Amino acid sequence: MKNIRFSEKQKLTSYRKIAISSWKHPRDPSTYAMLDLPTSAAKEFISQYESEVPLTMTHFIAKIIGHSLEKFPELNHVLRVGKLQQRETIDAFITTLIKGSTGKDLSGFSIRDINNKSIEEVAIISKEKVDDLRYNRDKNNLKVQKIMKHLPIVLIKPLLRIREFFQYTLNLSLGMKDAFGSVIISNIGALGIENAFIPLSPYSRCPLIIGIGKPRKIPVVQGDEVVVEESMIISFTFDHRHADGAHGASLIRRFKKIFSNPSAHKQIFDKDELAEPAVLSDK
């Protein structure tokens, strides 16, 4: 007698094949944290910022994270042969949902030196790269899709391990230079999800993942009154091998200060970053 009754097999997207091939039983170093922040100041800042292309919360958060990693470089390392080596640049990988032959698939793109770009530049680059993905102009993505379409899962697992070894242990680009970079940012709110803690990706060697939840209205106490205010949950997944709680707490405190009052730190979102205001102290 069968233990489970099955119907037809599910068609697997490229990302789903990679995910199934990546993980074993839980033995990972993930450390999770979250912030639940009012969005009014951030949205007002975004709406008033002059830009050629529309700015989004993803661009806004990507800039804050890039700046924070610059101030806390101990969170911008790669673990190689038992040693932590600091990256020379701060690169962000932003995930994107695209339509494929097997349905909606998860992909993404990298923005190099994000800490040295203005929020407008981040928005322009993002639009160009999303268009390339959606209209099949991204050569690297097409190459991955083609390979994953024809490979069975049993072969994907060793292939990912071999690629990871060559790219990170031996530090050879293999045509895709540091694809995931310093941080992965995923706007899960676009899927209607208010909060999720995103797992570390074993094959990316990326020690930090940010999840941007869907804004929702919640009761907030202001003085002696309860008012309704829009708020957003932002989740953080840290690799505990790279940093301890003190490092993560410093980054989260800085993130919260800038997110809650971006107008006071406008220089962070401009191209030429000026001296940091005293109110950004993390003590």
Domain ranges of the chain: 51-136+181-266
Does 24 have pLDDT greater than 70?
no
pLDDT of residue 193: 95
Q: What is the pLDDT of residues 142-169, one digit of tens each?
A: 888 888 888 888 898 898 889 888 888 8
Rounded to the nearest integer, the mean pLDDT of the chain is 86
What pLDDT does residue 249 have?
Answer: 93
User: When comparing pLDDT for 252 and 172, which is higher?
Assistant: 252
- b/e for 165-196, b at 16 or more Cβ within 10 A? eebbeeeeeeeeebbbbbbbbbbbbeeeeebb
Q: How confident is the model at residue 28 (pLDDT cuts 50, 70, 90)?
A: confident
Q: How many other C-beta atoms are found inside a 10 Å radius of the C-beta of residue 144?
A: 17
Q: What is the pLDDT of residue 175?
A: 73
Q: Please give the CATH number for the structural domain made up of 51-136+181-266.
A: 3.30.559.10
Instruction: Note the pLDDT tens digit of each residue in 256-266.
Output: 999 999 999 99
Cβ contacts of 32 within 8 Å, gap of 6 or more: 197, 235, 236, 237, 238
Q: Mean per-residue pLDDT for 31-51?
A: 95
pTM recorded for the entire structure: 0.83
Q: What is the mean pLDDT of residues 235-242?
A: 91
